[in-house]
Structure 1
Amino acid sequence: MSEEQRKVDQAGVDELYAEAEHWHVNTGGETIHAKRVPGKWRNVKWLGNAVWLIFFLGPYLRWDGRQAVLFDIPERQFHIFSLTVLPQDFWMLSLLLLFFALLLAVSTALIGRVWCGFFCFQTVWTDVYTWIEDRLEGNPQQRRKLEKAPLDARKLRIKLTKHALWLIIAALTGISFAAWFTDAFVLWGQIATLQASTVVWIVIALFTGGTYVLAGYMREQACFWLCPYARIQGVMVDKATALPTYDYRRGEPRGRVKKGESEANRTTGDCIDCNQCVAVCPTGVDIRQGQQEGCITCALCLDACDTVMDKLGRDRGLIRYMSLEELEGKKPVPLWKRGRVWVYTGIMSIALAGVAYGISTISSLELKVLHERQPLFVLQSDGSVQNKYTLKILNKTNFDMDVVISAEGLDDMVLVGADKPVTAHGSKVTATTVFLRVPREELKSDSESVVFHIHNLANEQFSAERQSVFVGPRR
């Protein structure tokens, strides 16, 4: 390293020490102004944030003349591209929720609170809000100075612009949430003409206010005091979990860089006590004190420390992802020996297989047969026995279809009331009444099995069947 470069780096280190005087653990008494440092993990974090673009843009995707993904609560049906899921198929939703719950457990067991650090909506929205604040008000020192400055035209302009942008994002969040439950383009028309329903206005208001307060003001305090995940994460990690960790064996004893001291004569560890790892932390914790409840494993401290190590010409990785076993110098436990992870993965696989099976076997038509109980049967004047049935036909498609009803199971059985096709209305249950008549001498017992069939006239693939019973006199 040249002498000129060393002077530049020394000036940068002196600046870091000056910044460090402002950083300490915050318990809610003041706003944390986290420093934004570029780096690999900051880029990964932006990619994680970008996943939420699906939340904002998803409702505008069209499919077959309608919104591609629509959770229609009033009609009790979920449209997911060409698939329509009705309440009768909601058992798949339970399996899907189980899958994601265990996915969270597996990811936590492997790499800690990766959800909190890179994907959680509170983290993402707070990151966007603080980015706006950083663009408008400047770096942390400038923001603190602006907070203490008297109100003037400049401060008023900056504050109004910031809060206006915050409110726009918050309002878009509320509108985007509502758009998943009603047609997005119709929703915008109703909002523009002030004709949206009371429920829509309440949803938008709640999400606007909640986003504005949580991301704009509470920030890390929501992670500390409101989030239950922060409380239970301690039992979800173990010694083999890879977490952002300070390598104390390499970093201690800490010591500030002394002017003119060469690396060969240094008596301190690699940590120069610049506090940059604390400065960039969105929750204000000091990773050098070990794992803490406030750490959301966002890895921004890794970028900050690596930047300082680069300035000093030292190896990166003083703070890095590693397990407690690795930190203690032990050999990491192989993944195949971590039984808890495999149990979680096995249950996840079963849940996902159940969802896949449900989707693959979901039929467009579903038939339910209700046997009349009062009376169970009627003796006809010609000696035959008659049973009455109510057929409930569930059409899971979005269009009406004409279905033909038939039955089988007994000799000389006559189906009455199904001479004409029945119109099964789209996404609704259509009920119709039919009768079965069987000569008494054909009945071998007082209860016989019969099967009802329905199929679409235009497309034989749309069909369903349901078994029922035919009841006659005791023999």
Structure 2
Amino acid sequence: MALNDMHDVQDVSQIYDEVSDWHINAGGEKVVAKRLKGRFRNLKWLGMSIWSIFFIGPYLRWDGQQAILFDIPNRQFNLFELTVFPQDIWMLSLTLLFFAILLAAVTSVAGRVFCGYFCFQTVWTDIYTYIETRFEGDTPQKAHKFKQAPWSIDKLWRVSAKHSLWIAIALLTGISFAAWFTDAFALWGDIFTLQAPLPVWISMATFGIFTYVFAGFMREQVCFWLCPYARLQGVMYDQDTVLPAYDAERGEPRGKLKKGQVDTSKGSCIDCKVCVAVCPTGIDIRKGQQEGCITCGMCIDACDSIMDKTDQPRGLIRYASYKELHHDANVLPLYKRPRVIIYSVILLTALAGIMYGFATLSPTEFKVIHNRQPLFVKLSDGSIQNKYTLKLLNKTQQAIEVRYQLSGLEGATLHGMNDQITVEPGKVVPLTALVRVHAEDINKALTSIEFKANVINNPEISTVYESIFMGPK
């Protein structure tokens, strides 16, 4: 090997040793991330705006009632004109499965997008740090200078204003959470008159304290040490996963460069460290993919702005896969990646189940339970009697009037429920029904019969249940 070639190998080795040397900020230093405008910052604001539903959602009204309400005492979930009861819990299970697999699928394709743009810890921390930078400085130097400055009326006012806003947001978070489980407008009156139930105060205290501490003080340390998803992310990546990455081959060796200058002995990175300054977790993306990276893309915006100023093409830091950075020609498209295919099949299956569930959601649920002990009774007049328990759940928001009928068995009569029954919203009224038929009208041991629940005041929601009548062989 030639001497120059040996030097080239040593230089490349030194470069990759440098970029692979990274550490975790264990809380020893406070991260004050600089805010820059850019496309990924705009995407982050867009992702964060989804959480406005958390605050606004409980106040939406539908047909004179709260549009979305998790009514725990009455064991029902009101979603506009639909009411979901515990009997429909399988739809909730599919919904949770859908979002869990969606999280894994997105991570396998583009890394921790949820962490970077949608996670409540990330969002609340971003809001808290924004407030802090408005009062105490938007760079580590300004923040340190403010902290070391002697106490004055101006400093006291700024610190008090910051913590007051933090506490207000924390309390609003707790109240908003409670509002999903009770009438949102009535809730505020109960709070101001100190008449709110105990769960509301617990919600306010729990969410208030944790929001204030986690978003205000612990910040990225929650992601490092408390969030299980941060630990699991590594097993969801593969060599085709696109992540914010530094192109070391193009960027190294680093060196200062003025606008308009060209130095072929140096790489594109001018070692300005702006990518580090804007990172919300304080990592240096130039040292390789790290546990602290939440793939928010803030470093891409920072680097692109520097590339523009130095008249260099963008993309020194960009979303790229391992294969792309290492010039692998066999970068697989999404439809050829096994884990993406598996995730997609599960997602589509869960989504189909959810859509089917909502499309077939009935306003009532009717069940007929046959008494097994005894299977039948032979009466003194020679007729055969079966005993049933009828249960009708009213899933509507109005009381319904029900009358039961029997069909399917010649000569059968229904006893014990000749009167009209009123079923209140969200209630079940169990009734005992006796079905009798003369022995000569039975020609087999099992005969299909139908119970029909006729809803007098709303015939469209009348329902039928198929059961069996048992007699002697």
**TM-score normalized by the length of structure 2:** 0.92
Q: What whole-Å deviation, never above 9, does each CA across 1:52-72 have from its counterpart, x for those lacking one?
A: 000000000000111100011
Partner of 2:213: 213
Q: What whole-Å deviation, never above 9, does each CA across 1:3-60 have from its counterpart, x for those lacking one?
A: xxxxxxxxxxxxxxxxxxxxx9632012111111111111111111101000000000
Cα offset, 1:345, TM superposition: 0.4
Structure-to-structure mapping, 1:440-459, within 5 angstroms: 440-459=439-458
The one-letter amino acid of 1:171's match is L
Cα offset, 1:418, TM superposition: 3.2
Partner of 2:16: none
Structure-to-structure mapping, 1:17-28, within 5 angstroms: 26-28=25-27
Q: What whole-Å deviation, never above 9, does each CA across 1:220-272 have from its counterpart, x for those lacking one?
A: 000110111111111101111111110111101111236xx963344210101
Cα offset, 1:372, TM superposition: 3.0
Cα distance between partner residues in 1 of 2:135 and 2:150: 17
Instruction: Indicate conservation of the 8 Å contact 1:452/1:466, yes or no.
Output: yes
Cα offset, 1:374, TM superposition: 4.3
Cα distance between partner residues in 2 of 1:271 and 1:40: 21
Instruction: Indicate conservation of the 8 Å contact 2:24/2:292, yes or no.
Output: no
Cα distance between partner residues in 1 of 2:37 and 2:88: 47
The one-letter amino acid of 1:240's match is D
Partner of 1:157: 157
Instruction: Indicate conservation of the 8 Å contact 1:25/1:286, yes or no.
Output: no
Cα offset, 1:432, TM superposition: 1.7
Partner of 2:41: 42
Cα offset, 1:370, TM superposition: 2.2
The one-letter amino acid of 2:391's match is K
Q: What whole-Å deviation, never above 9, does each CA across 1:273-295 have from its counterpart, x for those lacking one?
A: 11111111111111011111000
Cα offset, 1:458, TM superposition: 3.0
Cα distance between partner residues in 2 of 1:334 and 1:379: 71
Partner of 1:263: 261
Q: Does 1:281 align with 2:279?
A: yes
Partner of 2:18: none
The one-letter amino acid of 1:429's match is V
The one-letter amino acid of 2:417's match is A
Cα distance between partner residues in 2 of 1:435 and 1:264: 96
Indicate the SS of the match to 2:435: strand
Partner of 2:100: 101
Cα distance between partner residues in 1 of 2:352 and 2:180: 26
The one-letter amino acid of 2:377's match is V
Instruction: Indicate conservation of the 8 Å contact 1:170/1:207, yes or no.
Output: yes
Partner of 1:195: 195
Q: What whole-Å deviation, never above 9, does each CA across 1:328-360 have from its counterpart, x for those lacking one?
A: 122321222112101100111001101111111
The one-letter amino acid of 2:273's match is N
Q: Does 1:362 align with 2:361?
A: yes
Deviates more, 1:41-50 or 1:441-450: 441-450
Q: Show structure 1 runs of 5+ residues with no match.
A: 1-23
Cα offset, 1:445, TM superposition: 3.0
Deviates more, 1:454-463 or 1:63-72: 454-463
Structure-to-structure mapping, 1:219-258, within 5 angstroms: 219-257=219-257
Decide which of 285, 298, 301 is 1:300's aligned counterpart: 298
Cα distance between partner residues in 2 of 1:152 and 1:313: 45
The one-letter amino acid of 1:41's match is F
Q: What whole-Å deviation, never above 9, does each CA across 1:369-412 have from its counterpart, x for those lacking one?
A: 12234444333343212222221111111111112211122111
Cα distance between partner residues in 2 of 1:134 and 1:295: 22
The one-letter amino acid of 2:347's match is M
Partner of 1:4: none
Q: Does 1:323 align with 2:327?
A: no
Q: Does 1:184 align with 2:184?
A: yes
Instruction: Indicate conservation of the 8 Å contact 2:393/2:428, yes or no.
Output: yes
Instruction: Indicate conservation of the 8 Å contact 2:368/2:467, yes or no.
Output: yes
Cα offset, 1:460, TM superposition: 2.5
**TM-score normalized by the length of structure 1:** 0.92
Cα distance between partner residues in 2 of 1:262 and 1:175: 55
Q: Does 1:175 align with 2:175?
A: yes
Deviates more, 1:133-142 or 1:391-400: 133-142
Instruction: Indicate conservation of the 8 Å contact 2:369/2:389, yes or no.
Output: yes
Cα distance between partner residues in 1 of 2:370 and 2:168: 57
Instruction: Indicate conservation of the 8 Å contact 2:281/2:292, yes or no.
Output: yes
Q: Percent identity?
A: 57
Indicate the SS of the match to 1:223: helix
Partner of 2:346: 347
Structure-to-structure mapping, 1:35-184, within 5 angstroms: 35-140=34-139, 141-184=141-184
Cα distance between partner residues in 1 of 2:146 and 2:353: 56
Indicate the SS of the match to 1:438: strand
Cα distance between partner residues in 1 of 2:310 and 2:77: 57
Cα distance between partner residues in 1 of 2:275 and 2:51: 27
Partner of 2:17: none
Cα distance between partner residues in 1 of 2:158 and 2:230: 34
Deviates more, 1:429-438 or 1:198-207: 429-438
Indicate the SS of the match to 1:104: helix
Indicate the SS of the match to 1:403: strand
Cα offset, 1:297, TM superposition: 0.3
Indicate the SS of the match to 2:30: coil
